[in-house]
Structure 1
Amino acid sequence: MNAHHQDPGPAAGRPLSQADASAEAARLIHEAYRQDTPAPTPTSYRDTTPVPTIGTAAPVPQPDSRIVPQWAAGVAVASIGVGAGITGLGCGAWLALQGLASVTLMGVLTVTLPLAALAAVITAAGTTVTRARSATTTHIYEGTVVQRTEVTSTARGILSRSNIAQ
């Protein structure tokens, strides 16, 4: 506390009245804003002197004109895509292997029985379509049929040749 002012304070255990509370608030505000307290010391300093120039040449603007080649941009995009794809495949493989690590008979039956039933239905449909197509096909041959069975073979050295006489 300040030596200039003594804090009357409330009586022990007794709350302040409305008038006492207003007087105490006014006293605290007056003490906080009185002029005899020193100004706070600054904690930072900015040096505003200009930076000295080095050399005698005038400054030259140097615009940023870097251009990324199209192939480099393509490689960057492709590598991001490949990385994302590999990450997705890795997550999928991890999930599949986590599932395979806890394989039970009921789990295997639950997964394979619907697939086996679907395969049986597809096989039956394919067989039905194949039989329906072969039952309606008729072959009608018109004209003379010539069957030749004369075969001549020549073998000279490593090579051989067979000719059917016509």
Structure 2
Amino acid sequence: MYPDATPQDAVMSDAEAATEARRIIADAYRPTAYRDPSPVPVRGDTPPVAQPGRPPMSQGATDASVLMLAGGVTTTMVGGTAAVLMYVSQFADPLVCGLVFGAPTALVLALAQLLKGAKPAPDVHHHYDGPVYQDQRNIQTRTTGVWAKTNNEQ
């Protein structure tokens, strides 16, 4: 009850109380946001805008850049560890440190080459409508010499 209200103002009929209760409940459950369900146009006059962060590039380029960043960080950590070890010990042999810290890198590179060659060949599906002549040939290409000469053999 408000300080300036009189006792007669506080009395409501049952119908007024029910109406006020419905209004309060409706206000409490009113949505606070609205999403327009109409579809966004596929093509418009406004050119695309690059978003903040990494520049737009293909998925392959994104994967390669992440790999390069991770490789750079890993190389920095391994090199920094070797440098600190040689400095702190004062008698560490650089050749031994190079072998110890370089061996995991060589192992990872060898495993990466091994896994790269182990990828399965992609499935090829052709759908034709009408008569088709299909010629699949394997051509061996070899380029040699200072002045490049390419020999294609079937």
Short-chain TM bin: under 0.3
Asked which structure has the greater CA Rg, the reply is 1
Alignment TM-score, normalising by the size of structure 1: 0.25
